Structure 1
């Protein structure tokens, strides 16, 4: 009998009884005394199930009759527990306060499991570090409401700040998916005001109200085509391909990077590297190209080349 099957078998044997004799466990579960001893240790130490031997009743009983009902049917090996603890630690550093309180009971349980196996979970926080770049402060309440609406398939009324225009607009959205992109959270949603799919930065949501109306569902393939066919978070339906040529020095890094799932790359004999990526909105793409400085040259298309020239001329005027 597998461990998980024995767990439920123990639960069945204890159900509605004050105590269960040892021999009944051995017979019903078809296990040896040594296995029974290991099971007791596992149930007590790993699953926090308080099983006690009662001499007066002549068997084992639960200190808390609801112990099994209070515990999820989860069994973790040391490797699995360590992996979950690693994820928990990374989430805590990624967005402090976001999921930590919700996962605190699980974290406590995982700590105890690892301790019984000779591992120290506390060292994880000292050995794992998440470095942020360009992270913006996000209102926790807005994230929680948007996340709940996304999972429960409900509409949300938001007041969203358009940073380009500086205008705050009230609108109703039907969240489709949450995106964590470059250290910031976004929600792809159907905008009932504009009648189309839009991406909203959650940190720019000034007010958020969960509604009772069911969310409008968008076909998954259509959503991906609309929001992820182009470069960057602005996504959109790609209508052009940027062709970038990197110097041999920069190519050592860029040839291993994924700028877009549909990108095309060519490594040349001189060590230089040509990268082609689809895009619909050039704003983020231009910013990433400028970060590369003189290590990249835009070969096409012509409108993107002109926009790069204009941007560089404006930059040069700043230092004239």
Structure 2
């Protein structure tokens, strides 16, 4: 950490927490008492920071409540447009984090952004009030498990997990080698090498009931292997593609679908009548079936025959639910 980064950090620690003990500064900044004393003197004399020691609270704070807004720190400058983009980025991250996994870690960033925009005509708080992100399908995750997963990814160690499969309604104990975390459709998934199946698998993080970091080194899988294994299939389901979907959307639905990303290797084209034809390879079809059904009569499955039958059966079963009235 550079000297200037450390000075910024001291300022923002006080700004965020209001009062910070000497021990917290030394521990978190990993500096000596002498270095902290010099930094404090620099902030007071060169930056006109009214930082005082409060004996009652047992820490350092700003003498004036609005002092943090008046301190001009060199080395970090943003135009109003850039600062506004920072607010949007932070707010989107916070709003997408419905499970509360990264919220605590974003709070310091919020304090920093508010400090940057403190004297701006555009208030960060005002911007946040006028931006709303609605999460429809997010599921609650365990912060403890998420932390263990993060540690395993960074240390490149294996995880011992108890995993609940919603499809099979069963728990299994597994040893896995985490490869990467995926944020997909407002939920977290972990791509990993499963030592029980001896193959790559994708695990929903909210299905990991228990996670314990192992001392064993993780089995390394190249980015190319992961891409080949996961990219060919549809959605979150992994495996080498074995079938090719061919869908035909009505001109009305084509206005939306033609601009959507369904698959990394999709091929789309309009015909003379204005219908939109979409093709891509896939392996398993649970997600694909759901995405097709949400378009109702606005889409027709041209192929393969097995997918067409799945859709017809689902529509037939749905109609039977309403024929009972």
TM-score between both structures, scaled by the size of structure 2: 0.75
CA contact (8 A) 2:94 2:106 kept: no
Q: How many residues of Structure 1 are paired with residues of Structure 2 in the alignment?
A: 266
Computing the radius of gyration from Cα coordinates, the structure with the larger value is: 1
1:82 paired to 2:75: no
Uncovered stretches (5+) of structure 2, i.e. residues with no partner: 8-40, 53-72
| Structure-2 separation of matches of 1:73 and 1:87 | 23
Tell me which residue corresponds to 1:232: 235
Is it true that 1:253 corresponds to 2:256 in the alignment? yes
Distance 2:163 2:146 in 1: 13
Summarize the Cα distance change of 1:315–1:6 in structure 2 as closer, same or farther, 3 Å threshold. Answer: closer
Secondary structure of 2:94's partner?
helix
SS at 1:235's partner residue?
coil
Q: Equivalences for 1:290-301 in 2 at 5 Å?
A: 290-301=293-304
Shift of the 73–148 alpha-carbon distance from structure 1 to 2, 3 Å rule, reads farther
After the TM superposition, which of the residue ranges 288-297 and 148-157 deviates more from structure 2?
Answer: 148-157
User: Post-superposition shift, 1:76?
Assistant: 3.6
1: CA distance between counterparts of 2:309 and 2:102? Answer: 45
* Worse-matched range after superposition: 150-159 or 165-174: 150-159
Q: Kindly provide the CA deviation profile for residues 91-134 of structure 1, in whole angstroms up to 9, marking residues without a partner as x.
A: 11111532232232232122111113443111232122111122
Aligned-pair RMSD on alpha carbons? 2.8
Distance verdict in 2 for CA 1:212–1:75, change over 3 Å: farther
Distance 2:115 2:165 in 1: 47
Instruction: Indicate conservation of the 8 Å contact 2:201/2:238, yes or no.
Output: no
Alpha-carbon distance change, 154 to 6 in structure 1, aligned in 2, over 3 angstroms: closer
Change (3 A) 1:279 1:51: same
Unmatched runs of 5 consecutive residues or more in structure 1: 11-47, 54-59, 65-71
The correspondence for 1:52, drawn from 45, 54, 64, is 45
Deviation string 1:251-309 (CA, Å, 9 cap, x unpaired) is: 11111111012111111222111111211001111111111111100001122112222
* Paired residues for 1:93-172 under 5 Å: 93-96=95-98, 97-172=100-175
Structure 1 length normalisation: TM-score? 0.76
Q: Which residue of 1 aligns with 2:219?
A: 216
